[in-house]
Amino acid sequence: MAKAPSRYPAALIFGAPGAGKGTQGEILTRVPGFFHLSTGVIFRKLDPQMEEARQISEYCKRGELVPDELTVSIFRNWLEGRRAADKFRPKEHLLLLDGIPRTVNQCKLIERYIDVKLVLYFECVDMEVMVDRIRRRAVMEGRPDDASESVTRKRLETFERETTPVLNYYGDSLIRRIDSSGLPAEVLAGCLQQLIPVLKENFVFE
């Protein structure tokens, strides 16, 4: 039997809040070969009775990042839980990481477990398009951190300041720019064009 990889191959779905990462991640996770994981979604599903969940929700409501060590430990526990439940199968699935890593320190912390093969950078040049998407999402999904425009702008600033250095960390050779202002089907086509070679290089399909 083939050995499980010591580090899980992964592609990052990278981009500012409102750039459309979640929409694509959800579509892609239904395509065989991918396993999508969003730290934002994991945080929102934590048991609200837990003290940890309450602290995390406070950071999210303020538009701030959850501390790195806490984020990475929840991420790992969740992923290992999915693996134990045979939902995430490392020999069959390319991990699609949405929302992590969000700081250079997180890049370093996950490096022991995650082998980043590609960064899909969802570019959206117009900040107002993102603010507007988040405003519409607030109505549809009722997320507390979407509800106020000042928190939305804070999240976009946090992204610029703390998260964009992640791009430098991985370097140009891994980055693929995706124009995220197109139709969801166009964005999907752009993602698949980049992801399929990574699947073929890292997994054996019978």
| Contacting residues toward ligand AMP, per CB under 6 A | 17, 38-40, 43, 59-60, 63-66, 71, 99-100, 102, 106, 145, 155
CB atoms within 10 A of CB 15: 23
Q: Find the shortest distance in angstroms from Cβ 126 to ligand AMP.
A: 18
Nearer to ligand AMP, 40 or 199 (CB): 40
Contacts 24+ apart (CB under 8 A), 184-191: 184/20, 184/23, 184/24, 184/27, 187/20, 187/23, 187/24, 187/122, 188/24, 188/27, 188/28, 191/24, 191/28, 191/120
Q: Find the shortest distance in angstroms from Cβ 203 to ligand AMP.
A: 25
Question: Closest residue to ligand AMP, Cβ-based?
Answer: 40
The CA-based dihedral angle spanning residues 41, 43, 49, 52, taken in that order and rounded to the nearest 10 degrees: 170
Nearer to ligand AMP, 17 or 190 (CB): 17
Q: Find the shortest distance in angstroms from Cβ 153 to ligand AMP.
A: 12
DSSP structure class, residue 163: I
Nearer to ligand AMP, 118 or 151 (CB): 151
Q: Find the shortest distance in angstroms from Cβ 39 to ligand AMP.
A: 3
Integer Cα distance of 159 and 177 in angstroms? 17
Nearer to ligand AMP, 24 or 38 (CB): 38
- Grouping H, G, I as helix, E, B as strand and the rest as coil, residue 183 is coil
Q: Find the shortest distance in angstroms from Cβ 186 to ligand AMP.
A: 22
Residue 33 dihedral angles phi and psi, to the nearest 5° = 105, -10
Nearer to ligand AMP, 103 or 195 (CB): 103
